[in-house]
Every structure is written in structure tokens, then in C-alpha cells.
Structure 1
Amino acid sequence: MTVNFTRLAGWALIVGTLVAAFGYLAANLLAPGSGDEVFRYHLWPLFEGIAVGGDVIIALGLPVVLTFARRAPKLHVVGYAGVFAALVMLNIGEGVMEGFVKPYLVDHGGIPTEQPSGFAVFEGVALLCLVVGAICLGVAVLRDRTLPWWIGVALLVSCLLGALGLPGRWFLLPDDVFFAALFAIGVHAVRGRSEVATAGIVESAAV
């Protein structure tokens, strides 16, 4: 039996973005209070764990974005690498700490006010990867035109919204816009829209 890895990766993006978005929204909208108090919410680890699980699924399907590369393959590669690195470092790595370590600390001496040594650098590198990756991937989508233009715009807008530092629960909006763009890429991969792009790459290589 032949496995269509493009469609499989597309489904991973679809399922992963839905699961992750649900986890983040449930955790942050249902948790009472603000600040460190949210970590006392008894369902916080469950919802954050669901979100991290969704992020892992997204990471598995993310390589499908490369199948849409035609005119800007280098931008696609840089965009993929940056988004993948940020996904692993922030959503998964820091997400585990937010979901399981901080809820434990809040009831066992409290969460330290000072960050661990080097953690600021870790976050800075991850955020840089996210910005560079999202911008490069957004520009690549706009240049290649193998995907709807609004997907590229959504990727760029997610960076702009993130830079604005939206107040309250609105801070989730940049992630939701970004997940919506990845969800749409997954849908097009499942529908086989990447076949045209793949064929273009093969033809270019043959020439």
C-alpha cells in the first residue's frame, strides 16, 4: 500500500492546529484569576497538555509547507526552519514548563520571580526564530502563489499582532491567526494542491 505522505502531513497540520488551539483557549479562557493564580486552576495541566500534544502533531506535519515551494524555495526552507525551531522551543519546550512545572511550584514555595540563568537568551532566540520564520514563510507564500494569498498575509499579520503585545486574553489572537494559516496549508495539502508546486520543483531541477 502506497502512503501519501503529503496528505498525511496535511492532516497532521489540520488536527494539530485544532487540538493546540482548543487547549490554549480552554486553559486561558476558563482559568479564573490572572497572573500566577491561573496555575492553580485544577484543569490547567490538562488543557496545557492537550495544547502541547497538538504542537507535537503540528511539528510532525510542518514539513509539508516545503511541498508548496516553487519560485522561492530558499525562503520556504528558512521559514520552515524558523517556525519549526520556535514551535519546539516555545510551544513545546516552554509549554511543558507552563503546563506542569509552574502549577507544581505555585503550591510548593511559589514561582521564583527571577528567571533561570540563560532563559532570557533562550526565549530571545526562540522569538527571533519565530519572527524570521513567519515572515520568510509569509513572503514565500505570497511570491510563489501556490497557496491563497491570504495565508501569507495571515502569517505576516500574526507577527505584527504579536509585536503589539495585546492586553488581557487578546494575547492569544496572534497564535490563533498563525494556527489558522497552518490549518489552511494543511487543508490544501490534503486536497492535493501541492502537486502543482511539487511538479514545478521537479521540472526546474530537470532543467
Structure 2
Amino acid sequence: MGGPSGATVLRAAGVALALAGALCTAGGVLHPIVARKAHSVAALTSPGTPIAQILLGLGTVLLILGLPAMYAWLRPRIGWVGFAGFLCYLVGNIVTAAGHLTVELFVAHPLAEDPATAFVIAENDNMIGTTAFALFNTVGGLVMLLGMGLLGASMLRHRAVPRWIAVLTLVGMAGFFLPVPAVQGLSGLLYEAPRGLAVAAIGVLMARRPEGWRR
């Protein structure tokens, strides 16, 4: 039976990644932050919620759908380190980004909007005040950042993509470790924009050159 060609799949995945980068960046910039907290009752009921979370959620779904094709496109040029980076980045996004956003959008936001249930939202900016959920976010986030570091380093070393894309991936990873207080708009630019732009740029390359980038 016939089906889409490999080039068609790569082009479609490239478009998905380009959209993912744009949506995640927009959602990150719009995400409310009140008194340096992004997941307090005040933040979860501020203007911008739930639009920001919806944008982030849609972008994350497109990212997860596009990542396997991105690896297939990069595979001949990134080696085992790049493969490990891809796995960590994929798992980290599934666990932390998708899981966290699901709880934020469908559980925490409705609870915060209802005065009778708003007290359930943890005051430590973790939404759910349990050790298990804190570990879920922390470990998943560290795995995702490890993936960004390995993938960015591999792309840079093997020149798998234009150098600025690999550097931007590494900058996006390093940005999460900067001791910068959470500020609406600025935090989104710091945490989401570098990796969003890098993913979008790779997506554009995939859509334009499904046969592979020629350096």
C-alpha cells in the first residue's frame, strides 16, 4: 500500500517543529508571573491564563510529534552522543513539559479559579505540594536539559546544522541555570526563546532540505 514518502514526512515534521518553536516561545512570553511565582493562585488566575498554557501545550505536542523525525534527519551526522541527547530531550519533554502543562491547564487552573478549591494550590510555586510531584518536575527537567546539552554539543561538534543553531541550543540549556528572578516576559524569553528558535530553525531546514543539510 502506498503512503507518504520519507521526504514528505520530514517536510511535515519540519513544519510541525517550526510551529512548535513559535508557539512555545509565544506561550512562554505570555505566561503570567506574579510576585516571582508562575504557578501560584494569583498567576493561575491572571490575564494570560489559560491562553499561554494552551499555546505551550500545542507547541509541546507538535514538538513531541516532530522530534523522532528530527532525529531521523540528523542521525547520519550526530553520532551516539546526539542519539542520547535526543532520547533525553524527548523523554524530558514528555514527562516534564507535557505532564506539567496537563496538570497546570486541566487541574491547577480550574482549582485556582474556584475560591472553594483555591487553597489546594501549593504556595511553593509547585502547584501540587507533594514530594512526588516536585521530583516529577525536577528530574524530568534535568533530563530534558541534559538532552539539550548533549544534542547541542553533538550538533556543534559534527556541524550537523549551522553553528548558530547548535550554539543557541546550548545557550537555551545554560539559561535555565542562571540565578535570575522570575519576571513575566523576560523569563519566557530566557527559557523558551533560545530553544524555541533553535527547534524552529531546524524545522525550517528539514522542510526545505529533507535530504539533509549540506554544510
Q: TM-score range by the shorter chain?
A: 0.7 to 0.9
Structure 1 residue 193, shift from structure 2 partner: 5.7
* Distance in 1 separating the partners of 2:139 and 2:35: 30
Report what 1:20 is aligned to. Answer: 24
> Does structure 2 retain, via aligned residues, the 8 Å contact 1:70–1:144?
no
Say which of 130, 148, 155 aligns to 1:134.
Answer: 148
* Distance in 1 separating the partners of 2:210 and 2:4: 19
Report what 1:204 is aligned to. Answer: none
Which deviates further from its counterpart, 143-152 or 63-72?
Answer: 63-72
Higher relative helix content: 1
* Distance in 2 separating the partners of 1:46 and 1:119: 24
Matched, 1:150 2:164: yes
CA RMSD, Structure 1 to Structure 2 (Å)? 2.3
| Unpaired stretches in structure 2, ≥5 consecutive residues | none
Q: Superposition pairs for residues 83-102 of structure 1, below 5 Å?
A: 83-102=89-108
Distance 1:2 1:96, change over 3 A: closer
Say which of 124, 132, 149 aligns to 1:118.
Answer: 132
Structure 1 residue 146, shift from structure 2 partner: 2.7
Report what 1:159 is aligned to. Answer: 173
Aligned length: 195
Report what 1:52 is aligned to. Answer: 57
Distance 1:99 1:166, change over 3 A: farther
Q: Which amino acid aligns with 1:64?
A: A
Q: RCO (CA 8 Å, sep 6+): is it higher in 1 or 2?
A: 2
Look up the SS of the partner of 2:164 in the other structure: helix
Matched, 1:74 2:80: yes
Q: Percent identity?
A: 25
* Distance in 1 separating the partners of 2:106 and 2:179: 25
- TM-score, length of structure 1 as denominator length: 0.83
> Does structure 1 retain, via aligned residues, the 8 Å contact 2:16–2:63?
yes
